[in-house]
Amino acid sequence: MKQQQEEIIVFNFITKKVESLFFRKVNPRDIRWSTIYRRLNKETSVEVVHKKKTKRTQKFERSILGASLEVIKQKREQKPEFRAAQREAALREIKEKKKAATTKSAKPASSKAAVKK
């Protein structure tokens, strides 16, 4: 059954009975056979919907190219003070190498100047 109010709203009813109840403005909560009434008065068995369990990602450790897993674990276990000391030692070595390189390059340049005179 199709009913049209004004120009916009169109109602489709299953039966004449439903249509008459609708236009009499009978609340479906008061009608014993309606699904809304049955749901409110718990006359139907409601299926419990369980949430689907999601798989949690598992953490695992892998070696990185150029470093084995043991080396990575050792570095992780090192204390920050130890790392700072290692960094300072490495910087000192680099500075010493630079000084040595500059002194070596400075000596031959001065010897060439002496030969030219």
For position 26, what pLDDT does the model report? Answer: 93
114 confidence band (pLDDT: 50, 70, 90): low
What number is the average pLDDT over the span 38-59?
84
CB contact burial 88-113 (16+ within 10 A = b; e otherwise): eeeeeeeeeeeeeeeeeeeeeeeeee
DSSP 52: P
